[in-house]
Amino acid sequence: MTNIVVLAKLVPDLVEELEIAESGTALDMEWLRLIINEFDNHATEQAIILKERSGGEVTVIAPEAEGANEMLYTIAAKGADRLIMLKGDFEDGINNHALARAFAGAAKELKPDLVLTGVQANDDLDGSVGPLVAEYLGMSYVGYISGVSVSGETVVARKEYPGGLIAEMEVTLPAVLGIQAGEEPPRYVAISKVRQMMKTATIDEQEVGDLDASGGAMVQRMYVPEAAERAEMLEGDEEEVAARLVEIFKEAGLV
């Protein structure tokens, strides 16, 4: 029976255009569209797989943000038992050191055996959340994990190295694991089930108080990169682009 805590956050949807805030040192949060960090989604899946396999309880903790309610209810519909939303001064964004301290404060109360979170997030600028939380909780950390099995006081985690090499790491519990991919792709959950959760599940709101952001990056400026060179863009409709591509393939001796 394992007590698992999942730490999840929302990140900018990179399909949308990103803008820099007036300060020049942060993303403009006002128009940002947020989605669940894909690696947190994998961490959620891994937690629910572990629960299905050997029992236990899954608690998800997320900071408040536009869409955080929906994210939490969706995770509940997938099988999480308990939902916690951290409330605080997050509107202008917070760094991962501050977030990790807030996560650790809430997780400590739950006395977890295992804490799972995404190995990274696309907006990380001061490291990822996992190793910071691990240290604040006094637990071990291992990241780049794509498979977890729990046995008694230890967990065996499959750690990924370049080229497809895997290292099986044995980690003494309690521990924090940074999930790269769950054993299975994140499951789909019907919107009707999510709606049902909105009616039946409760989100436990917790104030985090003053945020301590020390240890973050000292950002001088943020900007959209201008490429020194850019691709030669092929213009026209799909027929024209297709014809031009075939020419290019011919020039290169590929067809």
Partner 1 sequence: MNQDIFVVVEHLRGQVADISYIMLAAARDLAQATGGEVVAVLLGHNAQALASNLAANHVLYGDHSSLAEFTSDAYTQALAGLLSKEAPRAAFFGSTSIGSDVAGVLSARLGLPLVSSCVQIADGNLISQICGGKIMAESALSDEVTTLVTVIPGGYKPAQGQAQTSPAVTTFEVSIAAPRVSLKQYIEPEVADVDISAENVLIAVGRGIQTEDNLELAEELAELLGGVVCASRPVVDQGWLPTARMVGKSGKSVKPKLYLALGISGAPEHVEGMADAEMIIAINMDPDAPIFDIATYGAEIDLFDLIDPLLEALEGA
**Binding residues among 179-218 for partner 1 as defined by CB under 8 A:** 180-181, 184-185, 214-218
> Do the bridges between strand 82-87 and strand 56-63 make them parallel or antiparallel, or are there none, so unpaired?
parallel
Measured from the CB of residue 152, what is the shortest distance to partner 1 in angstroms? 14
Strand partners of residue 86: 63, 206
Measured from the CB of residue 222, what is the shortest distance to partner 1 in angstroms? 5
Residue type (1 letter), 243:
A
**Residues in 44-83 at the binding interface with partner 1, rule: CB under 8 A:** none
Asked if 252 is part of the footprint of partner 1 (rule: CB under 8 A), the reply reads yes
Measured from the CB of residue 48, what is the shortest distance to partner 1 in angstroms? 16
Among 22, 162, 190, 199, binds partner 1 (CB under 8 A): 162
Distance, in Å, from the CA atom of 128 to the CA atom of 131, rounded to the nearest integer, reads 7
Residue type (1 letter), 213:
A
Measured from the CB of residue 84, what is the shortest distance to partner 1 in angstroms? 21
> Which CB atom, from 87 or from 158, has the smaller least distance to partner 1?
158
Helix axes 96-110, 129-137, angle to 10 degrees: 50
> Which CB atom, from 85 or from 175, has the smaller least distance to partner 1?
175
24: region left, alpha or beta (phi > 0 left; psi from -120 to 50 alpha): left
Contact yes or no for 8/40 (Cβ under 8 A): yes
Among 12, 78, 195, 210, binds partner 1 (CB under 8 A): 12
Asked if 28 is part of the footprint of partner 1 (rule: CB under 8 A), the reply reads no
**Residues in 79-138 at the binding interface with partner 1, rule: CB under 8 A:** 97, 100, 119-120, 122-128, 130-132, 134-136
Contact yes or no for 179/37 (Cβ under 8 A): no
Asked if 177 is part of the footprint of partner 1 (rule: CB under 8 A), the reply reads no
Burial 230-252 (b: 16+ CB within 10 A, else e): eeeeeeeeeeeeeeeeeeeeeee
Block residue for tokens 């049902």 = 196
Asked if 40 is part of the footprint of partner 1 (rule: CB under 8 A), the reply reads no
Q: What are phi and psi of 71, to 5 degrees?
A: -60, -45
> Which CB atom, from 142 or from 197, has the smaller least distance to partner 1?
142
- Residues that bind partner 1 (rule: CB under 8 A) add up to a total of 85
> Which CB atom, from 66 or from 243, has the smaller least distance to partner 1?
243
Choose the binding region for partner 1 from 65-73, 190-198, 201-209, 222-230 (rule: CB under 8 A): 222-230
> Which CB atom, from 83 or from 176, has the smaller least distance to partner 1?
176
Asked if 169 is part of the footprint of partner 1 (rule: CB under 8 A), the reply reads yes
Other CB atoms within a 10 A radius of the CB of residue 12 amount to: 18
For 167, which DSSP code?
E
What length is written for the chain?
255
Measured from the CB of residue 117, what is the shortest distance to partner 1 in angstroms? 11
